[in-house]
Amino acid sequence: MISKKFVLHFPKDLVDQPIICKLVKDYNLEFNILKAFVTPEEEGSLVIELIGKENFLKKGIDYLKKCGVKVQPLSKDISRNEEKCTHCGLCIPICPTEAFKYEKGTYHVLFDREKCIACELCIKICPTRAMELHI
């Protein structure tokens, strides 16, 4: 069993379809919704963790893409612009998953993309706008 996190972007004609249900039933995948923004008759986005056998996960992702869902690995959705970051540390206490921490000795802020759930709190609080969302 493997676990991977994705950001799914749904066009407005798919937001009311049982797409995630089909992932569970047809591809034997478990899911954990980390964040959702879905409005009827508008585009929707979903940050989701999918858990299952690697071959079923690949087939499930292929199914999503065939349906018209844009699939991005979560790590590609949030990034830090190293040139803008001043390592002020405001992102550390606000992050619910502890994706940020100080490096011992240098006090540089480290960002662990694997822990990030794209909640966007770091983007809102960053005074230099070093944290960026890519859609």
The domain of 83 spans: 78-133
Cβ–Cβ under 8 Å, residues 30 and 2: no
Structure tokens at 85: 């970051």
> Does residue 110 sit in the same domain as residue 50?
no
- Residue 71 pLDDT greater than 70, yes or no: yes
**What pLDDT sits at residue 76?**
61
> Does residue 87 sit in the same domain as residue 25?
no
0.75 surpassed by pTM:
no
**What pLDDT sits at residue 126?**
95
Domain boundary among 34, 54, 76: 76
Domains: count for the chain: 2
> Does residue 12 sit in the same domain as residue 72?
yes
The CA-atom distances, in angstroms, between 102 and each of 11, 107, 121 are: 39, 5, 18
CATH of the domain at 69: 3.30.70.260
Cβ–Cβ under 8 Å, residues 43 and 9: yes
For the chain, how long is the longest CA-to-CA vector? 52
> Does residue 72 sit in the same domain as residue 6?
yes
Structure tokens at 95: 């992050």
- Residue 60 pLDDT greater than 70, yes or no: yes
- Residue 36 pLDDT greater than 70, yes or no: yes
- Residue 131 pLDDT greater than 90, yes or no: yes
pLDDT band at 62 (very low <50, low <70, confident <90, very high): very high
Cβ–Cβ under 8 Å, residues 113 and 78: yes
